Amino acid sequence: MARTIKPASRKTSLFTSKTSLFASKTVGSSFPSIAGDPTFALPFWNWDHPDGMQIPDMYTGKSSALYDVLRSTTHQPPATVDLHCDVRKAPQPREKQVKENLSVMHKNMVSGAKFPLRFFGSPYRLGTKGCTCAGTIEQHRHNSVHNWTGHE
């Protein structure tokens, strides 16, 4: 029996809830030996919810296995993640940044992804040649979080 993976915040979006369920089922079917292990957990950052729009402690604590000495020091808590990841712009007040982030998420998850191919991207199969296009979530916001937390 696969365990449910609990997100960092109690409040979750539809996207993060489905992602957690997918991860839980994938781990349970791919690695049955760890599925019932109560000590096993996947790190999860709910960066698309206002309560999770800063780097969680599990990534910033120097004693954590997830700590990276090269991670941006200017984006450590209490800095609010910028889902545009425009490093040239000055940091915004939290309320303004959260509103901008939610607008960006709506565009990438709802209004800009009206068709499955646009949301999920094109299929990638063994032997595929040429361009495969990522969907709206992978192309933009997910990668923005990686860039925003990256080293200076």
DSSP-derived secondary structure for 100-149? HHHHHHHIIIIIT--SHHHHHBS---TT--S---B-HIIIIIIHHHHHHH
Give domain status of residue 76, yes or no: yes
Q: What is the pLDDT of residues 105-145, one digit of tens each?
A: 888 888 888 888 888 888 877 887 776 778 887 777 778 88
Q: Are residues 85 and 107 in the same domain?
A: yes
Considering the domain architecture, whether residues 18 and 67 belong to the same structural domain is answered as: no
Residue 51's alpha-carbon distances to 7, 46, 124, 146, 149, in angstroms, are: 11, 8, 34, 18, 17
**Same domain flag for 141 and 92:** yes
Number of domains in the chain: 2
Q: What is the pLDDT of residues 84-98, one digit of tens each?
A: 876 667 788 999 999
Host domain of residue 32: 1-44
